[in-house]
């Protein structure tokens, strides 16, 4: 006969003081479900486990562990990257600050919440506790958890709603070029935080960098937010003052160019259907009666005109912009009535046109409106309301791709919830050379960057531990590599770019675009890795530095193939090369004696040539020659540091002992720095690098026999590189910024004021 079952005990009854304290903490803690289940199972089996409070701290992220502490190094020594040595017993200044006669200040920093391995807890043997492993599961990935884990994984908004005292998480930079101190930056144009500027200025020994950044920042702000309403940079949402007349021959040419150059990547139109409507004998009357098709028609002509007659870098200038202005004048008519397929297609075409530099102010507005429309019509859930299924599917995936890519690089959450998408991928009408489905490749990349944002750069991602960050970064890297290998080798991002292998301009420019996007996200992941592991020194971080530098090098080297034309995407034309320039500038300033510095100086000169070419192409509309100051600052800094070393002066910089006489000689002769006005003399406008771009003797040579940089972001560098990271808060307590800050933030246009 079985003995009667014991009465169920209240949780914690009969336990000692230590155990009762432990259980009381368990009642209020937000522990993972699996841990609660394990504890409940142990108690009901009468296995009383004395759980140390240290383990509870390990599994319960408490904000108390993030309380501020005084830094061990003063701000000046930290900026100079030197050891901070205490001064006299009664002095509050360190020896270095006393010697330099500067103010010595010790800032507060926040502790990083670290995961404690059970084996690190004194007196604790994880192997003796049933069900608790001393090693975390090897197959854990934040984006690939079980259904139970996903169901109970909390978002940051849950924390805000549970505890009103929890601090908010902002995700906006206050400046275009100057990032907020609390951000962990990625491939971000908001690159220079105040501490970064201060650190670099101390190393440079002057405030010239600050002056350059301020000048660029003021210009970009003036262009993005012109205070003068008569400024030519203001985009008016109203039609042209006089009707636009286009001949039949020009119309056919523009439409043909559109379907040759734009349609393969964004195939949301049916060519036969569009050309049939465009050739109607009563076309003027049809355009008047159907504003959505009129907006679509004129935008298609504007896009094709950019490839045949050229466009403009300034709003309202040129034939293409006159055609696009017709569509802008119809924008209000597209918003008021109920959405239709043609309405969405018109906004989609306008969003594609707005990818260029002249529409930088309104691109995000147009893309966001297209995303709203396709979801309002239900295309994301495969609802077509009597429209052509294939046309609706293609339109949805084009809008999805445009919105996801721009959202990632801008640094904002997407308007699409991937959990709620059920629209199938339609067949591509006609794959390109080699059977490449550019449409599908674009959609896959869009999903990849969406996943990267959610796992790494969203507000909720800031709750990740360092291990979770690394696991997520590894997963995105794996996905990126899988996506890359779906390309044929001659088109594959990361492989050597050989334009002579392409049979047409479209394939060359499209392949180049994917190279830029590939290296752009690589730089983003590398910089995030460095920020997450800023307080550690591991092989992973050294590899991330090398990969970051090599990726930036390839981006700048590829600028020789970038068309300085209005149809070129703003990402290729300016933003990604600019980010690469900032990265190499930082490497040069922090590694003046490193063997790789001579190559980096040469590539800064290449970047100067690219932006000088852009300055010329825009007829001074974009004064990109300002950026030549970065190369000048780097050139003079390295020359002065080499001179100090040769004279035996002390320096606070880490000295690399490898013989660098070649670098010193070339820098002294000014061979790495082409002037803005004489770029052709150095071969940059013609697309050839000069012989002086070779690295010092004995160093692995990254330049091939054609004079181009070897496309290998994983190339081995023999000596460690310095790439210090300013003191950001730990990932669990700080913010992560993806993309390019607030460069594209604009308010929705005020139609009432503009149409008066």
CB neighbours of residue 349 within 10 Å: 28
Burial of 159 (0-12, 13-18, 19+ CB in 10 A): middle
Alpha helical stretches, state H, 354-388: 363-376
3-state class of 62 per DSSP?
Answer: coil
Is the pLDDT reported for residue 755 higher than 50? no
- Looking at residue 721, its pLDDT comes to 81
Q: How far is CA 206 from CA 305, 633, 636, 655, in A?
A: 48, 10, 12, 21
Q: How far is CA 224 from CA 370, 408, 472, 554, 614, in A?
A: 22, 20, 35, 29, 18
| Range of weakest confidence among 37-51, 147-161, 181-195, 631-645 | 37-51
Tell me what the mean pLDDT of segment 208-224 comes to.
Answer: 79
Buried b / exposed e over 230-269, threshold 16 CB at 10 Å, is eeebebebebbeeeeebeeebbebbbebbbebbbbbbbbb
In whole numbers, what is the pLDDT of the chain averaged over residues?
Answer: 73
Predicted confidence (pLDDT) per residue in 701-753, tens digit: 444 434 445 455 556 566 788 777 654 333 333 333 333 333 322 222 333 33
**735: which strand partners?**
183
Integer distance in angstroms from the first to the last C-alpha of the chain? 94
Spans of all domains in the chain: 17-132, 210-225+471-736, 248-360+362-427
- Looking at residue 33, its pLDDT comes to 41
Tell me what the mean pLDDT of segment 104-109 comes to.
Answer: 77
- Looking at residue 68, its pLDDT comes to 60
Tell me what the mean pLDDT of segment 142-165 comes to.
Answer: 60
Given a contact cutoff of 8 angstroms between Cβ atoms, the answer to whether 393 and 380 are in contact is no
* Percent of the chain residues topping a pLDDT of 70: 65
Is the pLDDT reported for residue 312 higher than 70? yes
Burial of 482 (0-12, 13-18, 19+ CB in 10 A): exposed
Tell me what the mean pLDDT of segment 321-333 comes to.
Answer: 93
- Looking at residue 31, its pLDDT comes to 37
Q: Pick the more confident residue, 128 or 334.
A: 334
Q: Between β-strands 183-184 and 108-110, what pairing exists: parallel, antiparallel or unpaired?
A: unpaired
Q: Which of 426-430, 573-577, 687-691 has the highest mean pLDDT?
A: 573-577
* Percent of the chain residues topping a pLDDT of 90: 35
Tell me what the mean pLDDT of segment 89-118 comes to.
Answer: 69
State the DSSP string of 696-742. Answer: PTTS---B-TTS-B---TT---SS--------PPPTTTSEE--SSTT
Given a contact cutoff of 8 angstroms between Cβ atoms, the answer to whether 176 and 746 are in contact is no
State the DSSP string of 541-594. Answer: HHHHHHHHHHHHHHHHHGGGG---STTS-HIIIIIHHHHHHHHHHHHHHH-TTS
Is the pLDDT reported for residue 286 higher than 90? yes
- 46: DSSP letter: T
Given a contact cutoff of 8 angstroms between Cβ atoms, the answer to whether 499 and 508 are in contact is yes
Predicted confidence (pLDDT) per residue in 427-462, tens digit: 876 665 557 888 999 999 999 999 999 999 888 888
Tell me what the mean pLDDT of segment 171-183 comes to.
Answer: 41
Predicted confidence (pLDDT) per residue in 60-99, tens digit: 444 444 456 677 788 888 777 677 887 777 777 888 888 7
CA distance 344 to 342: 5
- Looking at residue 554, its pLDDT comes to 96
- Looking at residue 676, its pLDDT comes to 34
- Looking at residue 227, its pLDDT comes to 65
- Looking at residue 712, its pLDDT comes to 57
Is the pLDDT reported for residue 618 higher than 80? yes
Q: Pick the more confident residue, 434 or 299.
A: 299
Tell me what the mean pLDDT of segment 627-638 comes to.
Answer: 90
- Looking at residue 464, its pLDDT comes to 87
Is the pLDDT reported for residue 532 higher than 90? no
- Looking at residue 110, its pLDDT comes to 52
State the DSSP string of 79-120. Answer: HHT-------TT-SS-HHHHHHT------EEEPPP-PPPGGG
Q: Extract long-range pairs of 195-198: CB within 8 Å, 24+ residues apart.
A: 195/79, 195/726, 195/727, 196/726, 198/79
Tell me what the mean pLDDT of segment 368-395 comes to.
Answer: 93
Is the pLDDT reported for residue 27 higher than 70? no
Tell me what the mean pLDDT of segment 603-612 comes to.
Answer: 93
Is the pLDDT reported for residue 696 higher than 90? no
pTM above threshold 0.85 = no
Tell me what the mean pLDDT of segment 468-484 comes to.
Answer: 95
- Looking at residue 470, its pLDDT comes to 93
Q: Pick the more confident residue, 678 or 422.
A: 422
- 253: DSSP letter: H
Query: Could you tell me the two tokens for 61?
Result: 């992220």
Position 336 confidence tier, pLDDT thresholds 50, 70, 90: confident
């Amino acid at each position: 006969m079985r003995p009667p079952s014991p009465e169920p005990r209240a949780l914690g009854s009969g336990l000692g003081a230590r155990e009762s304290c432990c259980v009381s903490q368990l009642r209020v803690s937000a522990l993972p479900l699996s841990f609660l289940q394990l504890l409940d199972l142990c108690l009901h089996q009468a296995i009383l486990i004395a759980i140390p409070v240290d383990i509870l701290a390990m599994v319960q992220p408490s904000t108390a562990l993030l309380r501020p502490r005084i830094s061990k190094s003063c701000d000046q020594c930290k900026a100079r990257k030197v050891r901070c040595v205490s001064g006299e017993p009664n002095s509050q200044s360190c020896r270095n600050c006393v010697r330099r006669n500067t103010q010595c200040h010790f800032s507060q920093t926040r502790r990083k919440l670290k995961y404690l391995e059970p084996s690190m807890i004194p007196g604790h043997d994880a192997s003796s506790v049933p069900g608790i492993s001393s090693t975390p599961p090897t197959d854990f990935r934040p984006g690939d958890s079980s259904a139970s884990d996903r169901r109970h994984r909390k978002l940051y908004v849950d924390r805000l709603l549970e505890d009103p005292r929890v601090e908010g998480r902002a995700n906006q930079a206050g400046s275009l070029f100057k990032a907020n101190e609390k951000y962990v930056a990625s491939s971000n144009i908001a690159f220079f935080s105040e501490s970064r500027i201060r650190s670099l200025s101390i190393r440079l020994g002057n405030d010239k960098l600050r002056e350059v950044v301020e000048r660029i920042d003021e210009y970009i702000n003036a262009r993005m937010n012109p205070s003068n309403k008569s400024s030519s940079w203001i985009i008016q949402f109203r039609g042209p003052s006089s009707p636009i007349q286009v001949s039949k021959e020009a119309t056919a040419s523009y439409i043909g160019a559109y379907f040759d150059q734009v349609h393969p990547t964004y195939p949301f139109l049916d060519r036969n259907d569009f050309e049939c409507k465009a050739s109607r004998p009563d076309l003027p009357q049809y355009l008047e009666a159907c504003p959505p098709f009129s907006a679509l028609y004129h935008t298609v002509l504007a896009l094709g005109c950019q490839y045949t007659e050229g466009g403009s870098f300034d709003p309202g200038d040129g034939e293409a912009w006159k055609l696009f202005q017709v569509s802008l004048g119809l924008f209000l008519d597209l918003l008021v009535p109920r959405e239709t397929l043609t309405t969405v297609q018109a906004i989609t075409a306008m969003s594609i046109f707005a990818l260029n530099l002249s529409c930088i102010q309104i691109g995000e507005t147009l893309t966001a409106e297209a995303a709203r429309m396709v979801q309002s019509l239900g295309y994301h859930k495969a609802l077509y309301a009597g429209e052509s299924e294939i046309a609706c599917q293609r339109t949805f995936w084009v809008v999805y791709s445009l919105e996801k890519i721009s959202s990632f690089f801008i640094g904002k959450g997407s308007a699409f919830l991937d959990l709620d998408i059920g629209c199938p991928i339609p067949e591509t009408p006609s794959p390109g050379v080699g059977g490449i489905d550019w449409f599908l490749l674009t959609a896959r990349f869009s999903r990849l960057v969406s996943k990267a944002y959610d796992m790494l750069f969203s507000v909720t991602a800031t709750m990740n531990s360092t291990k979770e960050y690394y696991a997520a970064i590894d997963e995105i890297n794996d996905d990126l590599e899988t996506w890359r290998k779906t390309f044929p080798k001659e088109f594959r991002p990361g492989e050597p770019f050989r334009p002579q292998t392409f049979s047409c301009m479209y394939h060359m420019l499209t392949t180049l675009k994917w190279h830029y996007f590939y290296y752009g996200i690589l730089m983003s992941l590398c910089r995030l890795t460095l920020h997450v592991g800023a307080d550690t020194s591991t092989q992973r971080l050294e590899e991330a530095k090398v990969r970051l530098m090599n990726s930036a090098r390839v981006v700048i080297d590829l600028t020789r193939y970038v068309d300085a034309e209005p149809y070129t995407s703003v990402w290729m034309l300016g933003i990604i090369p600019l980010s690469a320039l900032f990265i190499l500038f930082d490497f040069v300033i922090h590694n003046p004696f490193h063997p790789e510095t001579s190559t980096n100086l040469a590539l800064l000169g290449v970047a100067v040539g690219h932006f000088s070419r852009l300055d010329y192409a825009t007829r001074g509309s974009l004064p990109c020659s300002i950026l030549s100051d970065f190369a000048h600052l780097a050139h003079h800094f390295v020359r002065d540091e080499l001179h100090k070393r040769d004279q035996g002066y002390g320096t606070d910089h880490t000295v690399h002992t490898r013989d660098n006489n070649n670098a010193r000689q070339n820098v002294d002769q000014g061979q790495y720095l082409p002037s803005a006005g004489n770029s052709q003399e150095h071969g940059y406008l013609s697309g050839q690098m000069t012989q002086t771009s070779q690295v010092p003797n004995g160093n692995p040579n990254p330049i091939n026999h054609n004079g181009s940089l070897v496309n290998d972001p994983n190339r081995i560098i023999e000596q460690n590189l310095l790439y210090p990271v300013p003191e950001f808060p730990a990932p669990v307590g700080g913010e992560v910024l993806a993309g390019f800050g607030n460069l594209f933030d604009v308010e929705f246009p005020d139609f009432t004021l503009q149409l008066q």
